[in-house]
Chains A and B, each alone.
Chain A
């Protein structure tokens, strides 16, 4: 198939009343839903009742969405501590299904859903599929894994809600994936971006690309770059879309990007997003990087107040070129775990990377070292001098040092010592370099 250029794109919006609502309409809806959610969790979930009592906040203090800052946070650890069903806000018999995630630590987080939760999840994915230009005429090949992981199930629910045809392939067996995609005349496929790329390359090898009817790819569940998107799009001649979600909140379909790729539209009528300064927890202005925090506004089984995702992003309000007024979050800039506070300034390794990348064509390997000298934080950046940066003139290397120092100071807002080191000096673990070493003893 051929990819549709932005100019010829015909935007479809599943629920224009919500997706294109005015700010006032949305605020009213969110306020009503938040007040109801807070009342419900206070009455039914001991964990939240205790937390709110500790903060001296009663349900009556929450009069609208503007009061959200008064509510307590929820963390991933809280979910694990209450494994499996201790945060349940409905009677056991109302649980319709569970999904879960093992995360990177291997410890299971389990998420229960009522039937209404499942329906809303499907509705959100259906909105996302519509955003990708898909209708009930489409045949959607799902090669996300099915099981506890929300990927396969989430997409499946969305296809059902859309009234389209689901091809529930689950992951693996690339050869069979290709055969079914061709034989069943799939018009879209959904999987992780890395698998999409693998599949696309396999299709080229097998020479099946021209026989496919695929026109859209829905990819998420792992970070991917713009280059990956362009590669998949150009190999398969399709449009790719970035879908985001986390099982704690619901699953895929919490946010999705439109053809204009100006950030991922958040379904804020169900999942209220805040972007907060990771240290002060104050709300960031639009465009300012902070931690993404979600409050579920309609969840029955596992309503969560201010769930801290630890993902760093920024948010933009205002009408998108697609016509939606749903706010947009940027691609994630990293995790709060990697953030360091240096002389009161938040420093993210990814900022260093972006700044260094902007300097030249090649991103040098680097390592940040935070130390404390005479009660002052000192930030040193070790930069590997490879052939690209090497000069036989000391003056030029000194210039490079100064330039790196200036670029980083401008990007981070703190002074940086630059130390040039030989290639491979900086330790790499399984291809992924460690980016920060904090030598401060802050205990």
Chain B
């Protein structure tokens, strides 16, 4: 079972209604969105999503001529104990891993964080040896359903 998960990354222009179009397209085709983060710049936006079926999501967007790709990320479970995220980050930095970006999402009662790094496998290894839990792909895609 894969411990890294596939994020659907989408390039969108900053124009009105574009985000809705992308989300609507996925919804209409029964691709559910588990987690979502939108990063904005002056002229374009970056939509990052964990969805129920990443491959299908990408195909749907591709056939609508929307630029999308799959990115390997790690979904870490964060316990409610204070400072646990900070501790995890510390261990990752100690392992000489560069975190490009991260965003949080709720999975039932548990909080989770998506981590994009230059070495996802190593991140999983570091987290697990230090007692943190990561979501397996199948669990992550089905979260909140």
Q: Choose among A393, A397, A398 the residue that contacts B100 (Cβ–Cβ < 8 A).
A: A393
Indicate if the CB atoms of A421 and B46 lie closer than 8 Å.
no
Contact residues in A for B69 (Cβ distance below 8 Å): 387, 390, 392
Selected interface stretch from A10-18, A222-230, A345-353, A422-430: A422-430
Indicate if the CB atoms of A422 and B13 lie closer than 8 Å.
yes
CB A388 to nearest CB in B, in angstroms, measures: 9
Q: What are 29 A-B contacts defined by CB distance under 8 Å?
A: A385-B11, A385-B67, A387-B67, A390-B68, A390-B69, A392-B46, A392-B48, A392-B69, A392-B71, A393-B100, A393-B116, A394-B39, A394-B46, A397-B11, A397-B44, A397-B46, A398-B41, A419-B43, A420-B11, A420-B44, A421-B13, A422-B11, A422-B12, A422-B65, A422-B66, A422-B67, A423-B67, A424-B65, A425-B13
List the A residue with the shortest CB-CB distance to B70.
A392
A371 within 8 A of B: no
Indicate if the CB atoms of A393 and B101 lie closer than 8 Å.
yes
Chain B residues touching A, majority SS: strand
Instruction: Give CA–CA (A423, B62) in the complex, Å.
Output: 10
Contact residues in A for B7 (Cβ distance below 8 Å): 392
List the A residue with the shortest CB-CB distance to B43.
A419
List the B residue with the shortest CB-CB distance to A395.
B100
CB A420 to nearest CB in B, in angstroms, measures: 5
Interface size of A by Cβ–Cβ distance < 8 Å? 17
CB A383 to nearest CB in B, in angstroms, measures: 11
Indicate if the CB atoms of A423 and B65 lie closer than 8 Å.
yes
Task: List A residues 416-443 near B (Cβ within 8 Å).
Answer: 419-425
Name A residues whose Cβ lies closer than 8 Å to a Cβ of B.
385-387, 390, 392-395, 397-398, 419-425
A sample of 18 more A-B contacts (CB under 8 A), given A394-B39, A420-B11, is A385-B11, A385-B67, A387-B67, A390-B68, A390-B69, A392-B7, A392-B69, A392-B116, A393-B101, A393-B116, A394-B46, A395-B100, A397-B46, A398-B41, A420-B44, A422-B12, A422-B65, A422-B67
Instruction: Give CA–CA (A266, B39) in the complex, Å.
Output: 57
B9 within 8 A of A: yes
Contact residues in B for A390 (Cβ distance below 8 Å): 9, 11, 67-69
Contact with A along B99-113 (1 / 0, CB 8 A): 011000000000000
List the A residue with the shortest CB-CB distance to B67.
A390
Contact residues in A for B100 (Cβ distance below 8 Å): 393, 395
Contact residues in B for A393 (Cβ distance below 8 Å): 100-101, 116
List the A residue with the shortest CB-CB distance to B39.
A394
Most buried by A among B7, B11, B69, B71: B11
Task: List B residues 1-47 near A (Cβ within 8 Å).
Answer: 7, 9, 11-13, 39, 41, 43-44, 46
Contact residues in A for B13 (Cβ distance below 8 Å): 421-422, 425
List the A residue with the shortest CB-CB distance to B45.
A394
Indicate if the CB atoms of A394 and B11 lie closer than 8 Å.
no
Most buried by B among A387, A392, A420, A425: A392
Instruction: Give CA–CA (A398, B40) in the complex, Å.
Output: 12
Instruction: Give CA–CA (A322, B44) in the complex, Å.
Output: 54
